[in-house]
Amino acid sequence: MRGFPVPGKSVLLIIGGGIAAYKSLELVRRLAERGIRSRAILTGAGAEFVTPLSVSALTGEKVYSDLFSLTDEAEMGHIQLSRSADLVVVAPATADLMAKMANGLANDLASTALLATDKKVLMAPAMNVRMWESPSVRRNRTILEKDGVLFVGPNAGEMACGEFGPGRMAEPHEIAAAVERALGADGPLKGVTALVTAGPTREPVDPVRFLANHSSGKQGYAIAEALMAAGADTTLISGPVGLAPPQGVKLKRVTTAQEMLAACEAALPADVLIMAAAVSDWRPDIAANSKIKKSVDRVVPLIKLVENPDILATLAHGPRRPRLVIGFAAETDDVVQNAVAKRARKGADWIIANDVSGDVMGSDRNRIHLVSETGIEDWPDMTKTEVGARLAARIAEKLKGAA
C-alpha cells in the first residue's frame, strides 16, 4: 500500500558502492510510481555495480559523479545539486559514506553534497553484519541520528558474503515508504493526531469458534498509511487481519468489539477519528470454556446474543470527542439512504458508505459515497490506496477550513 501522494517532490539519490546498489534502480521506479522525481549521484564504487546509463535511463536525468567536472559545475554545481531536491536519499548507505558524513569529511561529490545540503537526509544502510555491528559504525549512526539523519533498515537476512544477520539494505518498497513519510512529515496534516480502526472483530462462541465478518482491513490500513504519509501522528486499532502493519503507524491489535472500544478510549484524545473497522454488532452472551460438541440427538445448541457496544456513537458523543468523526457504512441495499440515516443516528460528521454486496471486503478496490453536512460526494471506482489518499486530502481541506 502507498500513502498520501507527493507529486512534484524530488529526491537526490546517492548510490553508494555495494552489491545492494542494484536495488537503487528498483527504488527509482517505485518513487516514480508515487510521482517523486529522482536525480542521482553515482559514487565511483557504486559505478562498479550499476552503470550511469541504467540509472539515467530510469531517472530521465543526467547522472552526476565527478566533483571536479567543469561541465557538471557549469550545469548544476554541487551546492545547487545538494539543495535542489526535497530530500537526500543514500541507498545503499555504506560504512564509508556514513563515516564521512558523521565526521565532516568531503573528498568526493557524494560526501560533499551530503555536507552541503540543507535538506533532510534518509540513509538505507547496507554492509556486512560484522561491519554493521562494529563499534565505529554504531558510533557513527548515533552521531548521524543526533544530527537528524533518518534511517530505514537494515534488515536481517543472508548476505552476499554468506553470513546472516542485520546488514541487508531495506527493500525498495520499504525505502519508498520511508521517503513518503519523510516528505509527508511537513505535509498538510502535520501536527494532527489521527485514530483509525480497521478489520473485523471476532466474538468467541467457544475456544474454537467465533462470530465475525469478511472484512480484510485493507481499506482501514490504507487510510492509516495515507494519514501518516500526510504528516499525521497516526494510531491504528486493528482487528485480526493478515496485513503487514504500515510503517510509521502506531499499531494496537485487538480481537473483540469490547477490546476495540477500550483501545480507542485509551488512544484518545485525537483530532480525527476514522472508524473503518467492521465491528460485530452482536456477541454471544456467554462464551463456552470448552468446545461445544454436537449432541447425539442433533439438537442445535441455543446461543443467546447480546448487543456489542456502539463504538462510533460512544466516541462521537463522548467527553473527548475528536474534532472530526468519520464512520463507515458497509451496506448491501439503499447504500446512500442508510448512510444518511446512520450519520444522524451516530452523531458522526462524515459517513463513508460503500456497497459490500459483491467482493469489496476482500478486494483491492472500492467505490464510496462521502456523506457530510454539505451533501453527498460520489467518488469513482478506485483502489483502496487511492481512496485513502483522497480521504486524507479531504480531511486536510476540512481541518484547514475549520482553523
Asked if residue 199 lies in contact with residue 270, where contact means CB atoms within 8 angstroms, the answer is no
Asked if residue 153 lies in contact with residue 173, where contact means CB atoms within 8 angstroms, the answer is no
Asked if residue 294 lies in contact with residue 271, where contact means CB atoms within 8 angstroms, the answer is no
Asked if residue 184 lies in contact with residue 43, where contact means CB atoms within 8 angstroms, the answer is no
Catalytic residue among 115, 161, 305, 344: 161
Told to judge if 161 belongs to the known catalytic residues of this protein, a careful annotator would answer yes
- What is the C-alpha separation between 332 and 23, in angstroms, rounded? 45
Angle, CA 234 vertex, CA 232 and CA 236 arms, to 5°: 155
CB neighbour list of residue 4: distance below 8 Å, 6 or more residues apart? 180, 184, 187, 189, 226, 227, 228, 229, 230, 231, 389, 392, 393
* Grid coordinates belonging to 208: 474454537
* Grid coordinates belonging to 132: 554493521
- What is the C-alpha separation between 240 and 200, in angstroms, rounded? 6
Identify the three-state secondary structure at position 19. helix
Q: Cite the active site residues.
A: 161
